[in-house]
Structure 1
């Protein structure tokens, strides 16, 4: 579908003096399989045609203006030319404008320049206006055609327009209805998911949570092959203290083993000096957790509606299990970690330096 899209490009300039340049621009646009539009479409350039010109500019995806040696016919009531009026309208409408200015105005044939001083002054001001935005400079019709192709390709890449498609390539009424139906199904599924999550966390009053204490085992096992040295200690903490440490990992989803590792580290730092010595006594010990204890914590947070399985799509070779915060979990984590008024997070309280409290 993207390859079938054609963009409409409005070409604005004076006419008789730039006939060859306009032809080069139009041919460049046609070679790119896009649709040129401009004064050739209008029987005359007068006020009665301006509404039609506005309409065509509004329907265009890009606007090209070419400035050389003539200013153009001046609109008596406004004191500016149609080319400048078209330019001002395109800029005001937010259409991407591609400006092309003659590199050496002094070398333009006298027959293709304004001899009237007022027109020359207006042209100089208009040229400066166009040059106030990024422009390309040209000397010949052939060079101008090449610059238009390059500039238009860059504009389409940076700011893709709406474009046009053939009637037989556009969506049919049935396809549009199918898309609407699919959107309605997605909305229904989201509502059902929200209801299921709500039911899951509807009544948690009887569940252990918050600042209630919980005792969990942490282990240290030798990482040396062939050794089965292992030590266990039971460490007291609270559900909120666990969640405050593990939760940040799950903000953007995390492998389950990383969350388990973070919990083991939390427990180690909460252990007393004597318990740490027991864990540290294992030769090349590696901190971990018994599977049962980890499952208890994970299941509890799911029951509380704070975490859920990860939902992001991943490569098929990724065999990890992922966990993520629910909306409820994200709100609860924010409440736990947000700095309260009057609290300096960088200041350490001496009363908290006792390792037995971690």
Structure 2
């Protein structure tokens, strides 16, 4: 059964119409269901209760923040922040997208009142306390929402929705049970497949252990100079976890360097042009390729595009899905301090 997920899209409205359209387009292109407060009418019941109900029924929650705090509810808190708090309190997986401070932005779409600017700063800090993506344009936002949703659905699948015609009813279940009980050959085949699956799981576990055994010192620069670059200890497993989510589609070497810097340093203040040395990124890419976790991307690019692109292999995707559980089961270290 093909699942469709409901994605609640939250943001200020007037200043982010085009950006919201791109987020909704990204969700629709993936075959899922976007919803947001501008789609609702308060004619039959009070608006906030309706919004709460829609958030509770959603599988994922996306919040887009720029330089407006937005209209306020009766509590003096903006509806966008109220929606975000409600989603977090009810453990709805939240995906945050905050405007990059270095990106150009129209002054008329920014807060002019000091009280609102302060409230916006506090709200951004709240959103950034979780892992977020920073965007600079509506096109950039579209791509990052798509990648983040793919990652969220892969690592944290939710209930979702299916067509009623695809749901197997009790009569069909009885017939399946009857046929299964009469078919000894099928049961033997299932046992064989289970044995094969166990072998495959052992292979994934062994790859994760190999990644964890190889440790490196990573230099991350926060200016154009390499002198004074911060030093971090990280395993090849940390490196894989830093770059793999964005390799589910594909990613270039410069972007892999930025993703890894964010993952290891937990900061967006890194130098934007190869915060980690290009030769280091190439070397680690070769290490991951030797373990059959990544491969050169098969997507076509412009002849003028000289970048090298990589993507996850089938094994790489399986390792990405299962690595966090194996880390917990084996007591392995990770870059975010879990063990």
Q: TM-score under structure 2 normalisation?
A: 0.50
In the alignment, what sits opposite 1:55? 53
Rounded Cα–Cα distance in structure 2 between residues aligned with 1:107 and 1:47: 40
In the alignment, what sits opposite 2:331? none
Summarize the alignment of residues 94-109 of structure 1 with structure 2, pairs less than 5 Å apart. Answer: 94-104=91-101, 107-109=104-106
Runs of 4+ in 1 over 6 A off after TM superposition: none
In the alignment, what sits opposite 2:184? none
In the alignment, what sits opposite 1:135? 132
Cα–Cα, structure 1 residues 54 and 5, in superposed 2: closer, same or farther, change >3 Å?
Answer: same
Structure 1 unaligned regions, length at least 5: 186-309, 316-358
- For residue 172 of structure 1, report the CA deviation from its aligned partner: 2.6
Summarize the alignment of residues 163-178 of structure 1 with structure 2, pairs less than 5 Å apart. Answer: 163-175=160-172
Secondary structure of 1:168's match? helix
Q: TM-score under structure 1 normalisation?
A: 0.48
CA contact under 8 A between 2:10 and 2:62: conserved in structure 1? yes
- For residue 313 of structure 1, report the CA deviation from its aligned partner: 5.7
In the alignment, what sits opposite 1:28? 26
Summarize the alignment of residues 26-175 of structure 1 with structure 2, pairs less than 5 Å apart. Answer: 26-44=24-42, 48-76=46-74, 78-104=75-101, 107-175=104-172
- For residue 169 of structure 1, report the CA deviation from its aligned partner: 1.3
Cα–Cα, structure 1 residues 150 and 44, in superposed 2: closer, same or farther, change >3 Å?
Answer: same
Summarize the alignment of residues 278-293 of structure 1 with structure 2, pairs less than 5 Å apart. Answer: none
Rounded Cα–Cα distance in structure 1 between residues aligned with 2:137 and 2:45: 32
- For residue 141 of structure 1, report the CA deviation from its aligned partner: 0.5
- For residue 140 of structure 1, report the CA deviation from its aligned partner: 0.5
Structure 2 unaligned regions, length at least 5: 182-190, 197-339
Note the aligned Cα RMSD (angstroms): 2.7
- For residue 121 of structure 1, report the CA deviation from its aligned partner: 0.7
CA contact under 8 A between 2:63 and 2:94: conserved in structure 1? yes
1:320-358 C-alpha deviation (Å, 9 max, x unpaired):
xxxxxxxxxxxxxxxxxxxxxxxxxxxxxxxxxxxxxxx
- For residue 92 of structure 1, report the CA deviation from its aligned partner: 0.7
CA contact under 8 A between 1:68 and 1:105: conserved in structure 2? no
CA contact under 8 A between 2:103 and 2:136: conserved in structure 1? no
Rounded Cα–Cα distance in structure 1 between residues aligned with 2:174 and 2:77: 49
Secondary structure of 1:98's match? strand
**Larger Rg belongs to:** 1
